Structure 1
Amino acid sequence: MSFSLNAWFESEKTGQWGASPVHTNTLDVLFYRKISAEHAAERLLSDVNLRDSTQENAWGFWNLLFHAAASLPDHVDVLVQLILAIRQAEASPEGPNKLTQSLWSSWDDAHSFYYTWRTLDSSKSDLSSDNLTGADRWINFTSFSAKLVQQGDEMFMRECGIQAFFDIRDALETTLFSHANTLLPHSITSAEECLTTDIEAAACWIIHGGSKLQSVSNESFGSGWSRGLSRKTEFWDGEPGFSTDRWHFWAQRLETLAKEEFMSERAKEPVTKAVKLIEEVARAPIWSIAKEPCASI
């Protein structure tokens, strides 16, 4: 599900994400293809760097952009191009590129925010104005993040790719019982829906970023992640982190999960595509993996 552009921008006039009118207006004209991603980046960098509360403005902008990515899946490609343009832009004479400086911490905060949909208490939840569920936003944000990894440079892999590993691992290497133990007694979701959604999110990481993820070495993430990469799970006690054997296991696991009764019909299609992509990348010559086009769902 997605939110119409007009309705989304109307809802953002309340400024709940702390973004300035310049931020909202820039996204508006970008979404309607009135300016390029490069031009939009120039406008945003100028606004953020010239104002006093640069860090606060940067935080507000990224919240707005990530909210758009989670709400408007039909427009994530242009958002990815905008982020790449911001990353490539020169620092202004007034100071460094404040937007890029706060990108990684803001993305990490957004990932954590959308992940928590499963822990909400049903007695305290209200239907959002755009009729999107927390699961919808989690899937949309994951697909967007995977495209950043696929199209971005090594920093996107270092900062976002490590989370892709944890999301895929936690979805494919845990049981339904384990998922049930993470939920509140009055959670808005069941263990079955939670696991199905996480499996679909794992498939989205693979579909939109899999060829890059399958070619990365664990050393790319730095020594600080060695303990997390090497942790044993309910289904895996082999090599740590990403490995050829683990990707093969994940493909088998996805095939098995697709046949489970609790799996939704919506999740089965991306799961099947993810299995095919893992197999295709595994067969591809090493030199061609980085050039392989990203599949879409």
Structure 2
Amino acid sequence: MTDQLCNILQTYLQSSLSAVDAAKQLRDTVEADEAVEDAAYALFNLVADQVRALTPDASQHEHLVSLLVALKSAETSARDWSELVPLGMVIRELWNISGPEKEDWPAINAFAARLAAGRVLDLDTFGIWTMRAALEGNTETTDREVAAALQWIRYAGSHMKKLSMEGTEATTATKGGPRWSGQGGYNKERWAFWSQRLTEVAAEGSATDTASQKAAVEAVKEILKLN
């Protein structure tokens, strides 16, 4: 079953199938398995494996997002795909097994940001976690932390700014890091703080941390486009 799912996914990514046709084939394969939920979990792990092998700006991210949109849009199906269960759990597992020390961290965040911006999956809290790690800590910001933050600004910046202007509930999960003493969640003040911190990182990057500086410069440019 896993091999069949993998073959369908690869055929789709090679532009040999439409998103709608690929989604139908994937749904049919999953639902034909005796252990349907295990099969769905295997499918979304295959998607995660694809994401981890991509660069943050790879066009395949958009192809995968389109596929997930087609999956959740099924009008008649033996299984409820509307919430893409258990994709949220798979992405949470990615957060646990990856991280700023791993090369795939920016790509994982680029994909999550695209899903959040398109409202394919509610991953808004993940955006806060990435921004908090990159911009609200007391320790020196690493290259990949800033690169991950850039992905959220680049692919979900408009969505994040909208949430910030409207304000969201402050929860334990969305609390601030050491540098941020304000409310948790998304809010105007925190958005302004993130913008300021990125400006500082862009201006103060050292000779040993030029990747962080370059990523911060790009993030500031993206923020300016939103104003």
- Structure-2-length-normalised TM-score: 0.87
User: What's the CA shift for 1:108?
Assistant: 1.4
Equivalent pair of 1:70/1:137 in contact (CA under 8 Å): yes
Contact 1:257–1:263 (8 Å) recurs in 2: no
d(CA) in 2 for partners of 1:96, 1:232: 36
2:197 — aligned with what?
253
Match of 2:22 in 1: 40
Unaligned regions of 5+ residues in structure 1, if any? 1-18, 119-133, 178-191, 284-297
Q: CA RMSD in A?
A: 2.3
Which residue number in structure 2 is paired with residue 83 of structure 1? Answer: 68
Percent same amino acid among aligned pairs? 22
2:224 is the alignment partner of 1:279: yes
Contact 2:176 2:183 in 1 (8 A): no
Matched position secondary structure for 1:241? coil
Asked which structure has the greater CA Rg, the reply is: 1
* Contact 1:38–1:85 (Cα < 8 Å) also in 2: yes
Provide Cα deviations, 1:55-106, integer angstroms capped at 9, x if missing partner.
21111111111111110232211111111111112241x3433982212112
Aligned length, in residue pairs: 221
1:50 aligns with 2:29: no
> What is the alpha-carbon distance in structure 1 between the residues aligned to residue 154 and residue 22 of structure 2?
28
1: CA distance, partners of 2:188 / 2:20: 38
Relative to structure 1, the CA distance from residue 257 to residue 43 in structure 2 (aligned partners, 3 Å threshold; closer, same or farther) is: same
Runs of 5+ unmatched residues, structure 2: none
Task: Tell me how far apart the structure 2 counterparts of residues 252 and 275 of structure 1 sit (CA, whole Å).
Answer: 9
CA contact (8 A) 1:49 1:97 kept: no
Q: 1:262 to 1:87 in 2, by over 3 A?
A: farther
**Equivalent in the alignment of 2:136:** 173
Structure 1 CA distance, aligned partners of 2:2 and 2:176? 45
For 1:72 and 1:65, the matched residues in 2 are separated by 11
In the alignment, is residue 270 of structure 1 matched against residue 226 of structure 2?
Answer: no
Looking at structure 2, the residues matched to 173 and 55 of structure 1 have their Cα atoms a distance apart, in angstroms, of: 38
What secondary structure does 1:228 align onto?
Answer: coil
2-structure distance, mates of 1:46, 1:139: 32
Mapped to 2, the partners of 1:245 and 1:279 lie a distance apart of 16
Alignment of 1:143-292 (within 5 A): 143-153=110-120, 156=121, 158=122, 160-176=123-139, 195-216=142-163, 217-219=166-168, 226-229=171-174, 231-258=175-202, 259-261=204-206, 264-281=209-226, 283=227
